Amino acid sequence: MPRYTHEVKERAFRIYYETRNLSEVVRVLKRDFPKISKATVHQWAEEKDARDLNWYERSKRNEAAHHEKIDETIAGERRKIIGEAQAFKGRLYDLMPALEAKTLEGAVFAFEKISKFILEQSGSDRDSEQTARESVGALILVLRDDPELGPIIDRRWDAIEEKFHEVLKKIRKAEAKK
């Protein structure tokens, strides 16, 4: 019968995994196994398991798996945040035509900021169609505030807005095909 069980060896590995120090493994195990030696623990560390891994290789593999899980979690959270931001942007965009001038400015500002955030988080190109839409929204606000152009734009706003939405639909369809 083996002197130390598989459970003891696994406990030793967990201590090693946390400390990366064989002397620490011996020190901790000596509490329950006073006769354990550093040579025994060193031998366990060098032994290959069923996957042909020693403690060092096993630790590296566990670390890599742990980091991969963290990366997946971060990516999932990032996708969730981007999705929520895009949903908010969609709701904001739907409200924009019905908003009053002062509120519209705030909505366009918020729309621009949320669009910029989405582009930054998704890694999209800043020269994209999204940036063009942001610029157009800001330009419309500036033109509507102009004393000469504002009244003209206001008179023709329904036609301008209709054409604007047609162009946006085309852009969205083109982006969806990418």
Domain contains 145: yes
Domain contains 37: yes
User: pLDDT tens digit string along 46-87?
Assistant: 999 989 999 999 999 888 888 888 888 877 887 787 778 778
User: Per residue in 121-159, is it b (16+ CB within 10 Å) or e — as a string?
Assistant: eeeeeeeebbbebbeebeebeeebeeeeeeeeeeeeeee
Contact 59, 20 (CB under 8 A): yes
Domain contains 1: no
For residue 97, what pLDDT is reported? 65
For residue 131, what pLDDT is reported? 57
For residue 72, what pLDDT is reported? 82
In terms of domains, do 82 and 56 share one?
A: no
CA dihedral 131, 113, 154, 127 (to 10 degrees): -10
In terms of domains, do 166 and 94 share one?
A: yes
For residue 126, what pLDDT is reported? 47
In terms of domains, do 55 and 80 share one?
A: no
For residue 15, what pLDDT is reported? 93
Contact 59, 17 (CB under 8 A): yes
Domain contains 67: no
Mean pLDDT by runs of 10 across the 178 residues of the chain is 84 92 94 94 93 92 86 79 78 67 68 71 56 64 75 79 76 72
Instruction: Quote the number of domains for the chain.
Output: 2
In terms of domains, do 88 and 115 share one?
A: yes
Task: State the residue range of the domain holding 49.
Answer: 6-62
In terms of domains, do 47 and 95 share one?
A: no
Q: Could you tell me which of 47, 22, 59 has the C-alpha nearest to residue 37?
A: 22
In terms of domains, do 158 and 80 share one?
A: yes
In terms of domains, do 38 and 116 share one?
A: no
> pTM of the entire structure?
0.45
For residue 128, what pLDDT is reported? 54
In terms of domains, do 34 and 121 share one?
A: no
